[in-house]
Amino acid sequence: MSERHWHVLGAGAMGCLLASQLQRAGCRVTLLLRDPLPVAQVRVSVESGDTSSQYAIEATSLARVGVIDYLLVTTKAPQLLDALEQARSALAPAARVIVAANGMGYLEEARAIVGSGELYCCSTTEGAFRLGPLHIRHAGRGKTLLGRVGGGGPADWYPDWLGSELSCEWLNPVEPALWHKLAINCAINPLTATHGCRNGELASNLELRRRMGALCDEIAAVSAAAGYADTARRVHEDALQVARATAENRSSMLQDLEAQRPTEIDYITGYLLREAKRLAVPAPENSRIYRQLKALEKARAGD
Ligand code: KPL
C-alpha cells in the first residue's frame, strides 16, 4: 500500500480510469469535483469487456481540499491551465503535478503555475469513453508513457503507477513521446470527429484509411523538420496500429464534439500547423481538416 495520497482533477473518462487504477494499486485517491460537496465517497463504474467494476473513491472539491502533494490533472487541454490555476493555492511547495492532456503547447505556462513543484507528463493510448457521470467504458488497452518535463529519472511516485494494471514506461526525455502522441492524435482524432466514426473504421474503411495516410504524409514531413525522425518514420504504421487497438473507441475529439464541449483541436492539429508554418512545411490536408473541425465545432455550439 502506497503512503502517497493522489488528488485527481478532472473526472472525465481518463480521470475515472486513472483514479480507479491508482486506487486499485493501493494508493489513497481523492477525486476533485466541481460541485462544492463535503468530503464524501463517490462510486466510479468501469465497464471492460463483459465485466463491470465498481470503485468507492473519496471525493471533494477544490474549495474544500487541504494540501495537495500529488496531483494528477486529467482535464482536456483547453481547461488545463484554468484548472491548474484553481488548484495552485492548495499545492504543497514540493508538489508533484502530472498533466495528462492530449496535445502540446501548454507546458511552459503549466510550469509557471506549478512554481517550486515538479511538473510531469502522462501520455496514454488507453482507450476510454464516458457512459455517464463517473461511469466509463475502458475500451482499449494501450501504453502509458510518463516523464518529467525538462528531463529526469523515474520519480518517487512511479512505483504507484507500476503497481497498477496500466502498461507504463518512464521516459527521459519525455518530449519526443509527447510529439509522437500528438502525431497519432493528429492522424486519428479530427478524422473520426468529422466522420462521426469509431477509431477502428480508419483502418477498415478504405477511403478513411487513404485520408489518414494523406494526413500522416504531412505529419511525417513536419516531424522530420522538427527533429522527430522516429515519429516521421513510424507515424503511418503507429496510427494504423492505434486505430486497430482502440477500434471500439470513440476518439476524445468525437466525444467532445458530440457533447458540444470545446475540442482539443487547437492543441493537436492547431499545434502541428503552427509548427508546420514555423518550419515552412506545407500541410494542406491537415489545414483542411482543421478548418472542417472548427466549422463543425462552431455549428454544434450554435445548435
Ligand atoms: O488518444 C486518443 C484520443 O481519443 O484522444 C486515442 C489514442 C486516439 C484513443 O481514442
**What's the pLDDT tens digit per position in 124-152?**
988 888 899 999 999 888 899 999 999 99
Residue from 268, 297, 254 nearest 104 by CA:
268
Q: Considering only CA atoms, which of 184, 206, 200, 39 is closest in space to residue 125?
A: 184
Identify the CA nearest to 187 among candidates 240, 127, 126: 240
Assigned C-alpha cell, 205: 474503411
Catalytic residue among 76, 181, 277, 294: 181
Q: What is the pLDDT of residue 131?
A: 93
Q: Could you say which DSSP state residue 88 is in?
A: G
- Per-residue pLDDT tens over the stretch 237-252: 999 999 998 898 889 8
In one letter, which amino acid is 24? R
Residues in the chain: 303
**Mean pLDDT, the chain, integer:** 94
Site of grid cell 483547453: 78
CB-CB contact of 29 with 4 (8 Å): no
Does this model's pTM top 0.85? My answer is yes
Q: What is the pLDDT of residue 246?
A: 84
Q: What is the pLDDT of residue 22?
A: 97
Dihedrals φ, ψ of 45, to 5°? -110, 130
- Quick check: CB of 185 below 6 Å from ligand 1? yes
134 C-alpha to center of ligand 1: Å?
Answer: 19
Tell me, what's the pLDDT at 168? 98
Q: CB of 125 closer than 6 A to ligand 1?
A: yes
> Residue 84: CB partners within 8 Å, gap ≥ 6?
73, 97, 99, 110, 113, 114
Cell of 33: 469535483
Mean pLDDT of 72-97: 96
Q: What is the mean pLDDT of residues 6-17?
A: 96
**How many angstroms separate the alpha carbon of residue 184 from the centre of ligand 1?**
8
Q: Which neighbouring-strand residues pair with 136?
A: 46, 130
Out of 250, 251, 257, 261, mutate this one to test ligand 1's pocket (max ligand atoms within 8 Å of CB): namely 251
Q: Given the CA of residue 255, which atom of ligand 1 is nearest to it?
A: 4
The residue among 148 and 39 whose pLDDT is bigger is 148
Closest C-alpha residue for ligand 1 atom 4 = 251
Q: What integer pLDDT is reported at residue 13 of this predicted model?
A: 92
Gap from CA of 252 to ligand 1 centroid (Å): 6
Average pLDDT over residues 160-182: 96
Residue 39: per-residue pLDDT: 62
Q: Which three cell numbers stand for residue 235?
A: 507515424
Ligand 1, residues 76, 141, 145, 185: which to mutate, most atoms within 8 A of Cβ? Answer: 185
The span from the CA of 149 to the CA of 155, in Å, is 12
Q: Tell me the C-alpha distance between 251 and 197, whole Å.
A: 9
Mean pLDDT within 91-104: 96
Q: What is the model's pLDDT at position 230?
A: 97
Lowest mean pLDDT among 21-30, 124-133, 192-201: 124-133
Q: Is the pLDDT of residue 34 over 90?
A: no
255 lines ligand 1 (CB under 6 A): no
Ligand 1 pocket, 231 CB below 6 A? no
Q: What whole-number percentage of the chain has pLDDT above 70?
A: 98
Residues 261-282: tens digit of each pLDDT: 999 999 999 999 999 999 999 9
What digits encode the pLDDT tens for the residues 216-226?
999 999 999 99
> Could you give the CA distance from residue 9 to residue 61 in angstroms, rounded to a whole number?
9
Say if residue 192 is exposed, middle or buried (CB neighbours under 10 Å; 0-12, 13-18, 19+): buried
Q: Is 181 a catalytic residue?
A: yes
Distance 48 CA to ligand 1 centre (A): 17
Place of cell 494526413: 215
Atom of ligand 1 nearest to the CA of 140: 9
Residue 246, ligand 1, Cβ within 6 A: yes
Count of Cβ atoms closer than 10 Å to residue 53 Cβ: 12
CA 252 to ligand 1: nearest atom: 4
- The band of 1, judged by pLDDT with boundaries at 50, 70 and 90, is low
Question: For residue 262, what is the DSSP state?
Answer: -
Mutation pick for ligand 1 pocket among 14, 18, 124, 125 (CB with most ligand atoms within 8 Å): 125
Residue 188 Cβ inside 6 Å of ligand 1? The answer reads: yes
Of 63 and 80, more confident = 80
